Structure 1
Amino acid sequence: MRNHLLPICLLLVGCMPGPAPDDTATRASQPAAMSSLPPLKSFATPTPARPERSNADIARDFLDLSFRLESGRELAVFTRFEEPITVRVTGRPPATMMPDLAALIRRLQGEAGIDISLTNAAQANITIEALTRREIRRNLPHAACFVVPGITDISQYRRARRSARANWALLRNREKLAIFVPGDASPQELRDCLHEELAQAIGPLNDLYRLPDSVFNDDNIHAVLTGFDMLILRAYYAPELANGMTRQEVAARLPAILARLNPGGAGIPARAPARTPRNWINAIEAALGPDSSPSERQRATRRALGIAQSLGWQDHRRAFVHYAMGRLIAATDPDAAMGHFQAADRFFAATPGAGLHRAFVASQLAAHALSRGDGRTALALIEPNIPVASRFENAALLSTLMLLRAEALEITSRAPEAAQVRLDSLGWARYGFGADWAVRAKLREIGALNPLKGKRG
C-alpha cells in the first residue's frame, strides 16, 4: 500500500504491499474542476533508463522482491496472473486518470511484454476503484492507496481482510484482485498510485530500501516505473517461470532469463549491497510516519543514522537519512540542516542511478541559497536538475525547481525571464499539486524565500 508520509520527501507520498490482515498490499469520468490557472500539463513519451547493475545483483533483488512481503514474512511459492490480464475501472475516476492508466498499460505491454489490456467487463482480473481519500483512510488509516486479492470492490474489503482468500501468503496463483486509489488526490499522486499498485498487483509484493532505481522502494523517490522495474516485470512473466515454483526453482532459472533480457548486465561486477536490517526500517517508518511527534521523528531519524553509520553504509540509504533529518530540522536549525543536505548529496553522488535523489537535495540547497540572496548559486544548483525532474516525470519536483529558478532569476536582475518561467511552471504545478489553492500555496512558499520581496514589503 502507498502510505501517507510526512513531506520529508518534499513532494511525495509512499506505497507498500502485503497480505491481509497483517500484510495488506499497498497508489464514467468525473469532470475536472474549473481553474483560473494555465492548463494542466502532462508528460509525453517516457524515457526510462536501463538498469546499471549486474545481473547477479538483479537476480538477488528479484528473489527478495518476489518471495517476501514487506513485513518480512516469507512467501512459499511464486505467484502471478496467467495471461492475458484484464483491467477495469470503477468508482469516480477524475479526468486525468484514464489517460494516465492507458499510458501505463501501453508501457507494460511494450516495455515489460505483458499481455494486459483495459476492459469494461465485470469479470476483469483487476478492478481499480477510484474512491475519496476519506473512504480509503476509513478502511486503512495510513494508506494513500492499496491492493487486495480476492475481491472486486471496497464493500468486500472489511469482510475479506481476515479471510484466506485475501491473504497473499496463502495464494497459489492470482486470478482476481482490487486496487483502491484516491480519485480526489492530485493527478500526480493518483498516477503514482496506479504505477506502484498495478505493478505490485501483477508482480512482486515486496519493497526494498536498497534499490536506488525503483518504485519498489519505500523511500518513494521514484514516482513512475523505471527501467529496472520494467525488467523485473518482464522477467516475472518469462515463460520459464510458473505459478507454484519455489524460491530455489526460480533462482535456478533466473540467470538464463536475465542473460536473455538484459545482456548488458552480464559484464557488470556484482556490488551485493548489504541487506537492510529491520531496526533501521522501523526507525525510518517512525521518522516518516504521521503518528509521531516532531521530537519522536527526530529521535527516530537519529537512530536510523546511527544504525547506518555503525553498518558503514556509504550508499543512498545513508544519504536518505541525512536528507530526512535535514527536512525535519530545516525550520528550526537551517545551518545544521544544510550540513545534512550536503552529506546527503555526497552519498547520493556515490550511488549509481541516484540522479533523481540528487535533484531533490538540490531543491533544498537552492532554497537555502535563495534565502541568502545568492541567486547565482541557486541557478547553478537548479538548472542541471530541471531536465532530471522532467525525465523522471515528477511534475511536483519539476514545478518546484522552476519556481525556485524564477526567484533566482529575479534576484539576478532577469525579471522578464523570471515571469515567463513562473508562468510555465504553473501547468506542471497543477499536475503535481492538484487544486488551485495548493498551487498558490507553493507559489507563496517559494516566493517567501526571495529576500528582495521582503524588502519591498
Structure 2
Amino acid sequence: MPARLQSDKATGIGRILGRAALVGACLALAACVMPTPDTSPRPEPREAEGPPPPSAESESFARYYASVQARLVSDGMLRTDGGGVDTPFSAAQLAANFERIALYDEYALSGGRFIAQQTPSRLRRWDQPVRIQPHFGAYVDDAQQAEDRSVLSTYVSRLARVSGHPIRVVNSGGNFHVLYINRDEQRTAGDLVRQLVPGISAETVNEIQTLSRFTFCSVYAFSQAGGGSTYVAAIAIIRDEHPDLLRRSCVHEEVAQGMGLPNDSPAARPSIFNDDEEFALLTRHDELLLRILYDDRLTPGMQPDEARPIVRRIAEEVMGGPS
C-alpha cells in the first residue's frame, strides 16, 4: 500500500476484570459449601497506575510550542477570522492555487526518507465515505479528550458540507485515523499504525516515529497498491504537547490535506495551505478548494494539464464569474 505524505492503561482494567471473575467463582461455591470466614488482614486496595511522567524531551516540546504560539499570535499570525477585505482573491488565483495545492506533491520519497520536493502529480481524493476516528494517547486527560472530540466533530461536519462528500466521525471502524499523542508515544507508535493501516511501509512507520519537533503535525494518506489515485486510508499525527490554538490549527490543516489537498503554496491567501502560518483555521478560500476537489467533473488520476481547463471553469462558477 503506497503512502502519500501530505506537508500516539490497561493494567487497571485487567485487575478489575480478574477481581470480578474471582467474586463470581466464590458465589458459585457458596451455593454448595459455606467457606470458613477469612479473618486475616486485607491489603489496602491499589488504584490503577497511570502513565509515567512525560519525558524531559516531551516537556521541552510543550515549552517550545507554547513559545511558538505566543510569538505567532503577537505577530498577528494564526488568524481565526478566515480572511476579509485585506485578503481578496480572484477566480484565476483560486484556480492557480488549486493546481499547485491539489496537483503537486509537497514531499517525495528518496533513499527511504521523505524530502521536501515540489513534484507534479495527479488528482487524488476519496471515493468511499470517510470515517474519521480519533485515538488518544495515555497523556490526554478526559477534559482534553472531550474538547478534541468536539473540535473534530464540528470541523468534520463543516468539511462534509463544503465538499459534498460523506465524512463523519466514528468511535470505531475508521479509515482516517487522527492520533493525539505526545513525543514519547510517537517514538513507539509503530505497532499502532501497522494495526491501523496493514501493509504500511517501513519508511512511513519510521517517518512517523522520528518526526522532529520542527514538524508540528503531519498526515499520511494511502492508496491501494498499484499506484491508484483514490485514498483508502489516512493517519494524521497531532502532537499532544501543542497549546490550544496550534492544536486546532493542526487538526484543520492535516485533516483537510488528507482529503486530497497535499501541497502548500506561498501564493495561497487567505489559506491554511501556506507555510507562513498567517491563518490557523480553514478559510473561505480553502472551502472553495475542497468544493472544486470533489466536483464530479474532476476525476482521480487527472494530471495538471488535463484538469486545468475544468478547474478554471469551476473556479469561475464558485466565484460568480471570471475575474
TM-score bracket for the superposition, by shorter chain length:
0.5 to 0.7
Give 1:10-89 correspondences, 5 Å limit.
10-11=71-72, 52-70=88-106, 71-89=116-134
8 Å CA contact 2:130–2:175 kept in 1: the answer is yes
**Distance change (3 Å), C-alpha of 1:200 and 1:179:** same
How does the TM-score come out when normalised to structure 2?
0.60
The question of whether the paired residues in 2 share the 8 Å contact of 1:49 and 1:226 is answered with: no
Distance in 2 of aligned mates of 1:107 and 1:207: 21
Pair member with larger Rg: 2
Q: Residues 177-256 of structure 1: matches in 2 within 5 Å?
A: 177-256=234-313
- Quote the Cα distance in structure 2 between the aligned partners of 1:244 and 1:188: 35
Aligned equivalents of 1:144, 1:8: Cα separation in 2: 11
Higher relative contact order (CA 8 A, sep 6+): 2
Distance 2:285 2:184 in 1: 33
In 2, the alpha carbon distance for the partners of 1:76 and 1:8 equals 33
Structure 1 residues 171 and 219, CA gap change in structure 2 (3 angstroms): farther
SS at match of 1:146: strand
Which has the larger share of helix? 1
Q: 1:143 aligns with which of 168, 191, 215?
A: 215
Distance 1:7 1:132, change over 3 A: closer
Aligned partners of 1:182 and 1:147: how far apart in 2?
Answer: 12
Q: In the alignment, what sits opposite 2:175?
A: 125
Question: After superposition, where does 1:169-180 map in structure 2 within 5 Å?
Answer: 170=227, 172-180=229-237
Aligned residue among 152, 158, 163 for 1:112: 163
| Alignment partners' CA distance in 1, 2:70 and 2:278 | 7
Name the counterpart of 1:257.
314
Letter in 1 for 2:96: R
Where is the strand percentage greater, Structure 1 or Structure 2?
2
Unaligned runs of 5+ in 1: 13-42, 152-163, 269-457
Cα distance in 2 for partners of 1:7, 1:75 equals 32
Provide the alpha-carbon RMSD of the alignment. 3.1
Report the residue type matching 1:148 in the other structure: Y
Q: How many residues align structurally? A: 218
Q: Percent identity?
A: 23
Displacement, 1:9? 8.0
- Match of 1:242, SS state, is coil
Q: CA deviation at 1:188?
A: 1.7
Distance (whole Å) between structure 2 residues aligned to residue 48 and residue 99 of structure 1? 24
Give CA deviations for 1:29-55 in whole Å, capped at 9, x if unaligned: xxxxxxxxxxxxxx9xx8765973221
Q: TM-score, normalised by structure 1?
A: 0.43
Q: Give the drift of 1:135.
A: 3.7
Deviation at 1:134, TM superposition (A): 4.1
Cα deviation, residue 10, structure 1: 1.7
Q: Deviations over 1:381-418 (max 9, x none)?
A: xxxxxxxxxxxxxxxxxxxxxxxxxxxxxxxxxxxxxx
Structure 1 residues 136 and 143: CA distance shift in structure 2, 3 A:
farther
Instruction: Give the unaligned 5+ runs of structure 2.
Output: 1-5, 8-60, 74-79, 107-115, 188-208
